Structure 1
Amino acid sequence: MEAKTKRRVRDPAATRETILEAASNLLAKDGVEGVSLSAVAHLAAVNRGTAYQHFETREKLIEATIQWVSDKLFRAVFGDPSTLGERKVERVDVAALTDRLCDFAMENPDICRVWLQQVLASPDPSQDPFWREYCGSLRRFAGTDLAEPGIDSEVLSVVNLAGVFFWPILARAHAAEDAQRTELARRFSHEILRLSMYGTMKAEAFPGVAERLRKEAAEANAR
């Protein structure tokens, strides 16, 4: 009796995800210049024809990859995009959000830097979902009674994200173990919170953050 040949089940969505993940790895490793459809197809273990079916040009592949990274970043920091309308900046746990952002950057430093460079160089950064929400959140926060006056939300967004995404360069150069990198991520998160607490946020409105900063400072001094 002849054995039945198993046919490979096609899953376009899964194939697209595999291609985008491969493209993000190449972007992180070699930058935009290192991305080509043939190189991505090879890394994703699909033929070039399949890659071209999903992305007609290299430019469309890069654009889709940046959007894919933005979605990953968005979900890691803000959660499910479908619940966006439920987010109120006055109720956001600023400390937890900062921790999530710093953790994601520490785990994905190269692709985060490529993402930021591509978004800032684009004609309209607000077309990017994560940038739109991050910068928009700061702008909305600046309009509340919790914020100090005179905040430039766009400049502050660049300052924060550039620092968060470039700090891992130092961290990875000086920390060989995950625990050490986690500690360095916490250090950066602490400093971002401290600068925000006494620069953009009205400190008296965030007693929980103030207490956390006091405890962390005491622990650091005791080491």
Structure 2
Amino acid sequence: MMEARTRRRVRDPAATRETILEAASNLLAKDGLEGVSLSAVAHLAAVNRGTAYQHFETREKLIEATIEWVSDKLFRAVFGDPETVGQRRVEEVDTAALTDRLCGFAMENPEICRVWLQQVLASPDPSQDPFWREYSGSLQRFAETKLAMPGIDAEVLSVVNLAGVFFWPIFARAHAADDKERDVLGARFTHEILRLSMYGSMNASRFPEVAERLGKGIGQD
């Protein structure tokens, strides 16, 4: 008579951690920071609370890890593999395609993008975040090439661009739109960002006083 064997469930800590982080990101998107607790995340992830505590000792560590997790998703969606992104030359970057990818991710993940941006900008050192560091850094590298107009403040431009791209889906009610409608909304934003980057909004010949002010630089008015 064959001895009965009981199969044990194979544990996969990495997969469990991923499940917890995905659940935490969903709660962040839905309820903001106030809605995130280890108990609520464990319930949504369908793991026991003890398991959640094994991976993240405190609520603060869970939130920090979730923001890092979102940053990695954002980085990969926009720039690609973090291991190879350092090989890019800014002169070879397809700016329009990069903007399309950024807007596309924002349209599909509007709430979590907003939470990510608020957390990163409120942190003592935003440059610790991989996506912010690469995005702002790439604009700075671009500003130092002959492809750019003179006088670009890469840090200010980074905030302006990301605030726009991450808040536009909320204003445009992307969550209530279908795939086709989101594509149209994303295309509208991409078009305007590219138009502003290429041509600006003001006819310089009609605003000589503004041109004079910009020519003087900051603090020289």
- TM-score scaled by length of structure 2: 0.87
Cα contact 1:175–1:181 (8 A) shared by 2: no
> Cα–Cα, structure 1 residues 40 and 174, in superposed 2: closer, same or farther, change >3 Å?
closer
Report if the CA contact (8 A) 1:113-1:165 is conserved.
yes
- Structure 1: gaps of 5 or more residues: 200-223
Tell me the alpha carbon deviations over residues 125-152 of structure 1, each in whole angstroms, 9 at most, x when there is no partner. Answer: 0000000000000011000000001111
The share of aligned pairs that are identical, in percent, is 86
Which residue does 1:25 correspond to in 2? 26
Q: Which residue of 1 aligns with 2:5?
A: 4
- Cα pair distance change 1:95/1:173, threshold 3 Å: closer
Q: Partners of 2:177 and 2:48 in 1: how far apart?
A: 37
CA deviations 1:50-104 (Å, max 9, x no partner) are 1111111110000000000000000000000000221111110000000000000
Aligned to 1:118: 119
Name the counterpart of 2:44: 43
Question: For residues 33 and 4 of structure 1, what CA distance do their matches in structure 2 show?
Answer: 46
The answer to whether 1:154 aligns with 2:155 is yes
Secondary structure of the 2:173 match is helix
| Equivalent pair of 1:99/1:186 in contact (CA under 8 Å) | yes
Do residues 164 (structure 1) and 168 (structure 2) align? no
1:174 Cα deviation after fit = 9.3
**Residue aligned with 1:6, SS:** coil
Superposition deviation, residue 6 in structure 1: 2.7
Aligned to 2:206: none
Alignment of structure 1 residues 1-223 onto 2, 5 Å: 4-172=5-173, 176-199=177-200
CA shift for structure 1 position 198: 1.9
- CA offset digits 1:140-169 (Å, max 9, x no partner): 100000000111111101110111011112
Alpha-carbon offset, residue 8 of structure 1: 1.0
- The offset of 1:171, in angstroms, is 2.5
Q: How far apart are 1:33 and its partner, in Å?
A: 1.1
Residues 176-217 of structure 1, C-alpha deviations (whole Å, 9 max, x = no match): 321011111001000000111124xxxxxxxxxxxxxxxxxx
Distance 1:185 1:42, change over 3 A: same
Tell me which amino acid in the other structure corresponds to 1:192.
Answer: I
Contact 2:107-2:174 within 8 A present in 1 as well: no
Larger radius of gyration: 2
Distance 1:90 1:171, change over 3 A: same
Q: Quick one: distance in 2 between partners of 1:66 and 1:100?
A: 20
* Number of residue pairs aligned between Structure 1 and Structure 2: 199
Residues 28 and 174 (structure 1 numbering): CA distance in 2 closer, same or farther, change over 3 Å?
closer
Task: Give yes or no for contact 1:24–1:65 (8 Å, CA) kept in 2.
Answer: yes
TM-score, normalised with respect to structure 1:
0.86
Residue 2 of structure 1 deviates from its aligned partner by 7.0
Quote how far apart the aligned CAs of 1:124 are.
Answer: 0.1
SS of the aligned residue for 1:138 comes to: helix
CA distance in 1, matches of 2:17, 2:147: 43
Rate the CA distance shift 1:14–1:173 in 2: closer, same or farther, 3 A.
Answer: closer
Q: Deviations over 1:100-121 (max 9, x none)?
A: 0000000000000000000000
